Structure 1
């Protein structure tokens, strides 16, 4: 089912927006629809990412609760990250 969206802007804004849309070979209504669809797609991606992140955090806590987690001190973590970054940089320069 399609929905209708209405909003108000001043006449100058509408006129300029119509000119821009027409210069691109589309109507202002088409441009507004495309923007709305883009916003909806961005929201879908955000929802999907948040669900994935929640799942990852829950898995980490389950692993912790099961006694299967291992912790790395800050210095070791920094050193490992530096090694990974160096490998990536080296691949990029080859």
Structure 2
């Protein structure tokens, strides 16, 4: 079911926005709808990422609880990361 969104802006803002929308071959309503849809899609991506991240964290804790975690000291982790970065830089 479609829903209606209403908001208020001053006349000058409305006039200029309509001019911009018309110059792009669309109505102001179309432009507002597109912006709303874009924002909703961005939020879907955020929610999807949050879900994925939560799953990853939970898997890491499960692995830890099962005694299957492997810990790496800071210097080794730093060294590994530098090696990965260098490898990526050398691809280009």
The two structures have a TM-score, normalised by structure 2, of: 0.99
Structure 1 equivalent of residue 12 of structure 2: 12
Structure 2 equivalent of residue 82 of structure 1: 82
User: In angstroms, what is the RMSD of aligned CA positions?
Assistant: 0.4
| Count of equivalent residues | 92
Structure 2 equivalent of residue 24 of structure 1: 24
Question: Post-superposition, which runs of at least 4 consecutive aligned residues in structure 1 deviate over 4 A?
Answer: none
1:1-55 alpha-carbon deviations (Å, 9 max, x no partner): 0000000000000000000000000000000000000000001000000000000
- Post-superposition shift, 1:91? 1.1
Q: How does 1:63-78 map to 2 (within 5 A)?
A: 63-78=63-78
Q: How far, CA to CA, are the matches of 2:76 and 2:88 in structure 1?
A: 19
The two structures have a TM-score, normalised by structure 1, of: 0.97
Unaligned runs of 5+ in 1: none
Q: How far, CA to CA, are the matches of 1:19 and 1:78 in structure 2?
A: 54
Unaligned runs of 5+ in 2: none
1:37-94 alpha-carbon deviations (Å, 9 max, x no partner): 00000010000000000000000000000000011111100000000011111111xx
